[in-house]
C-alpha cells in the first residue's frame, strides 16, 4: 500500500507534485529509488537527492591524532535526540572514534569485541550494553572509517552538532597553516555539497550508464529528435559530473572558484602542490529506513479506533 508518508518523502526528495509522486510509487509498487528514476525520466523531479532517508538518531564524530596523520570517523546510533545529547553517550562516541584510530579492526563486529580504552575490564560491547541498561534506550555502532596519511595531513568538520561529519585527507610536502586551512575548507565543502566522488576517475561505469539512460529517456520524452539526443545526453552527463565530483564542484565559499582552482591558488601561495586524495562523509541515520505504518492503521489511530 502506498502511504501518505511515502508520498511525502518522495516529494521532499524530488520536488515533484503530489499526484505525480503517488503515480510513480504505484507504478513501482512502492520502490522509492525506482520511483525517483521514473520522475527524473519524465522530467518531473527537480533533483534526486542522493542522501538516504534519516531514521536513526545519534552522533557522527571524528578523531584526529595530534600529528594529524591518523584519524577515524564513526556513527553511533540511539533512538532519540535526547539521548544523543547525553554526556555519557557523547563521551562514548568520542572514545570509540579515538579507539578506532589506533586499532586494526576492519568491521564493526570486530570493533565491539575489543577492550574499551577507558576500561580494560570491559569490551566496547559490554560498555554499550551497560549504558543501554542505564538509560533504557537501544544503541549501536553502525559504521566507521579509519584514515592514515604519510605525506600530508587530515582535517575534519562536524556540522549540526554531530548530524554530519567529514574527514578529508590532504596530500602536500609542506605541513603548515595554509594546508590545514585548505583541509578545513574542503571538509566544509563536502559537508555542504555532498559530493559522491573525488573526481571523474572515481566514478564507476554503472553510475555513468545509469545517468545516461535517464537523460536519454528525458530527452526523448521532451520530444527531441533522436539525432541530437546523444549530444544532449553527453552535455547532461558532464553537468552531472561537475555536481557530484568534489574537485569539479563550485566552491561554496567563493562561487567564482571550483575546488580545483582553489587548490591551485593555495598551492601557488606555498610553492607546493596541495591535493585532496580522499574524503569520507557520514550523515547521521543516512540510509536507515523509518518504520512505516499502514495508511489505514494511521487513520484508525488518529480516530482512536
Q: What is the pTM of this model?
A: 0.75
Q: What is the DSSP string of 155-167?
A: EEEEETTTTEEEE
Residue 52's pLDDT is: 34
What are the residue ranges spanned by the domains of the chain? 1-49, 57-165
Residue 304's pLDDT is: 53
Fold classified for 57-165 = Tetrahydropterin Synthase; Chain A (3.30.479)
Residue 55's pLDDT is: 35
- Is the CATH code 1.10.8.10 the one for domain 1-49? yes
Which residues face 170 on adjacent strands?
153, 276
Chain center to CA of 99:
22
Residue 53's pLDDT is: 33
| Rounded mean pLDDT for each run of 10 residues along the chain, 305 residues in total | 86 78 91 86 55 62 97 94 94 97 96 92 91 85 95 96 96 94 97 96 91 87 83 89 95 96 97 97 80 49 50
b/e map 173-207, b = 16+ CB within 10 Å: eebeebbbebbbbbbbbbbebbbebbeeeebeeee
Residue 45's pLDDT is: 59
Q: Which value, in Å, is the radius of gyration of the alpha carbons in the chain?
A: 22
Amino acid at each position: 500500500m502506498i502511504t501518505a508518508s511515502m508520498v511525502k518523502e518522495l516529494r521532499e526528495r524530488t520536488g515533484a507534485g503530489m499526484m505525480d509522486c503517488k503515480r510513480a510509487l504505484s507504478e513501482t509498487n512502492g520502490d522509492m529509488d525506482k520511483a525517483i528514476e521514473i520522475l527524473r525520466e519524465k522530467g518531473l523531479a527537480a533533483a534526486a537527492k542522493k542522501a538516504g532517508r534519516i531514521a536513526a538518531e545519534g552522533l557522527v564524530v571524528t578523531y584526529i591524532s595530534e600529528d594529524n596523520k591518523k584519524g577515524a570517523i564513526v556513527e553511533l546510533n540511539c533512538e532519540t535526540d535526547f539521548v544523543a545529547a547525553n554526556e555519557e553517550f557523547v563521551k562514548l562516541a568520542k572514545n570509540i572514534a579515538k579507539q578506532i584510530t589506533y586499532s586494526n579492526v576492519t568491521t564493526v563486529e570486530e570493533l565491539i569485541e575489543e577492550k574499551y580504552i577507558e576500561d580494560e575490564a570491559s569490551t566496547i560491547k559490554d560498555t554499550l550494553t551497560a549504558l543501554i541498561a542505564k538509560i533504557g534506550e537501544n544503541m549501536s555502532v553502525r559504521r566507521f572509517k579509519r584514515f592514515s596519511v604519510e605525506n600530508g595531513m587530515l582535517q575534519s568538520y562536524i556540522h549540526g552538532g554531530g548530524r554530519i561529519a567529514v574527514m578529508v585527507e590532504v596530500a602536500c610536502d609542506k605541513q603548515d597553516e595554509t594546508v590545514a586551512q585548505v583541509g578545513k575548507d574542503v571538509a566544509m565543502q563536502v559537508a555542504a555539497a555532498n559530493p559522491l566522488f573525488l573526481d571523474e576517475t572515481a566514478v564507476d561505469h554503472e553510475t555513468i550508464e545509469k545517468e545516461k539512460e535517464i537523460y536519454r529517456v528525458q530527452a526523448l520524452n521532451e520530444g527531441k529528435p533522436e539525432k541530437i539526443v546523444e549530444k544532449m545526453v553527453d552535455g547532461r552527463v558532464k553537468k552531472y559530473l561537475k555536481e557530484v565530483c568534489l574537485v569539479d564542484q563550485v566552491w561554496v565559499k567563493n562561487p567564482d572558484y571550483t575546488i580545483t582552482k582553489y587548490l591551485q591558488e593555495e598551492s601557488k601561495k606555498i610553492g607546493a602542490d596541495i591535493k585532496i586524495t580522499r574524503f569520507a562523509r557520514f550523515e547521521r541515520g543516512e540510509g536507515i529506513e523509518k518504520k512505516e505504518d499502514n495508511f489505514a492503521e494511521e487513520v484508525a489511530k488518529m480516530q482512536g479506533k
